[in-house]
Copies of this chain bind each other. A is one copy, B any other.
Amino acid sequence: MKLKEIAEFLSLDYRGEDLEITALNSLLRANFTELTYCDGEKNIKDVPHTGAGAILIKQEYENLVPKDTKVLISPNPHLSFAFLSKLFAKPLFSNVKEKKQDIAKSAKIMPNVYIGDNVNIGENVVIMAGAYIGDNVSIGDESIIHPNVVIYNDSKIGKKCHLLANCVIGSDGFGYAHNKNGEHYKIYHNGNVILEDYVEIGACATIDRAVFNSTIIKRGTKIDNLVQIGHNCNIGQNCLIIAQTGISGSTELGRSVVMGGQSATSGHLKIGDFSTIAARGGVSKNLGGGRVYGGFPIMLQKDWLRLQAKIALNFKDKD
């Protein structure tokens, strides 16, 4: 889509040279045919380093934009971007008459399964009744997709994965831009989800797709029932994430991290290798790793236990 058409669609003034925009992307990943945006504040430092073909930005930051990047001035770049995300959204499913599917003969497909276009299903894969496999999905050898699982378009499932009943892979993340009246505009998520080999996803767990690029669950990680993994998370190898835990968007877990039941993290955090978060631990800052943390606000679990004991001692027994 031409940059001038985009400007017109967004009712923004643009008089520079035109450019074919092929996709939207983040500040540091966008290339010279892609459009990015900067809302200011926390991302402003990345503007001078963008390689994007064009950028949606507030007027006050225009001078920070590299000279090869074309500038679309918007009073609310995040909102302009939300509008555009719909324009660039892939269809939820294609309407081709003859779907192209590469399904191994050894795969077993039960009844009432929906399989989209351009799907690749490996050797000995089992797809149980009621599952939904969106367009452009690939499923590696020996993986088992349990009943009524939903795998949205573009998801990549590794080998020997187990996806338990009613889990959802690749739903849009919870991202909205807001106008002055407090109305929320959906950001269509054009990234995907990648599950590497030997990943297990529990029943009714939900893994959101990335805005751009991928939400990634690395090799050997096991996720329990009713867990929520937000958009653009990156979960390391061999993690264990126990039931009803919530990982907010863009948070990264290192390898062999254990998250206890009903624990949680804020977004955009880094939790180091070999961290253990005790049940109910609420992580709202980066953690170095290699230790056992607990409580909310988060601290070392041994400190939390000692703290609770002292509180009880000081307050509980005397009246």
Contacts and interface: CB of A to CB of B under 8 A. Distances in A.
B303 A316 contact: yes
Interface in A238-296: 238, 240, 242-244, 246, 248, 255-256, 261-262, 264, 266, 279-280, 282, 284, 296
Interface stretch (A27-35, A39-47, A66-74, A160-168): A160-168
Interface in A187-234: 198, 200, 202-206, 208, 220, 222, 224-226, 228, 230
Nearest to A129: B114
Q: Copy number in this complex?
A: 3
Interface string A141-152: 000101110101
B150 A150 contact: no
Interface residues of A, number: 75
A174 interface: yes
A49 interface: no
Interface stretch (A1-9, A15-23, A76-84, A178-186): A178-186
Which of A112, A238, A261 lies at the interface centre, i.e. has the most chain B CB atoms within 10 A of its CB? A261
A155 to B, nearest CB: 12
Contact of A238 (B130, B162, B184, B226): B184
Contacts of A256: 182
Given A174-B240, A182-B238, A299-B316, 5 more contacts: A147-B150, A166-B204, A248-B261, A262-B262, A262-B264
20 contacts: A92-B128, A92-B146, A111-B114, A112-B130, A148-B148, A150-B165, A150-B166, A164-B168, A164-B172, A165-B168, A171-B203, A174-B242, A176-B240, A184-B238, A246-B262, A279-B282, A280-B282, A297-B308, A303-B316, A307-B312
Interface of A: 92-93, 110-112, 114, 126, 128-130, 132, 144, 146-148, 150, 152, 162, 164-166, 168, 171-172, 174, 176, 182-184, 186, 198, 200, 202-206, 208, 220, 222, 224-226, 228, 230, 238, 240, 242-244, 246, 248, 255-256, 261-262, 264, 266, 279-280, 282, 284, 296-297, 299, 303, 306-308, 310-312, 314-316
